Amino acid sequence: IIYCATHFSCEYLYSKLQENLTDISIGYFHGGLCNDERETTMNNWTFNQIQIIVATSAFGMGINSSNICIVIHVGVPMSITNFIQEADRAGHDGNTATNIIFYSKKDVRINYSIVAEYRET
């Protein structure tokens, strides 16, 4: 699973992976999809028709697949709770799970500003 922060980044990364990994089945999932699209993607994931899924945090609740060994986070998750929730998707088979976070200083600054703005309200 590759987690992204926004719908746009999710679809953008999906399209780039599709262009470059033509022999791997890839899907995407975010809260902006219509119910039919979400259901189709979930079914394809459940029945192992998708090898890589690019998703926002909308993908994860109730996901207990035993074949997930790597979770990649593109950008810093908004909270430690989000990180744990997303990271916990891997390793359900009892094997070692790997979590990778790709981030920049800009990602951290954006998160700090969002948290600061939230605390002011």
What is the CATH classification number for the domain harbouring 91? 3.40.50.300
Residue 84 lies in domain: 2-120
Residue 74 and residue 87: Cα distance in Å, rounded? 12
Closest to 90 in 3D by CA, of 27, 3, 12, 18: 3
pLDDT per residue of the chain (121 residues) written in tens, 0 to 9:
999 988 999 999 999 999 999 999 999 999 999 999 999 999 999 899 999 999 998 887 667 777 788 899 998 887 788 888 888 888 777 788 889 999 888 877 877 777 777 777 6
Residue 108 and residue 112: Cα distance in Å, rounded? 6
**Number of structural domains, the chain?**
1
What counts of helices (H) and strands (E) characterise the chain? 4, 5
Q: How many Cα atoms occupy the beta-carbon half-sphere of 115 within 13 Å? A: 11
Over residues 70-97, the pLDDT tens digits come to 899 998 887 788 888 888 888 777 788 8
Can you give the pLDDT at residue 41? 94
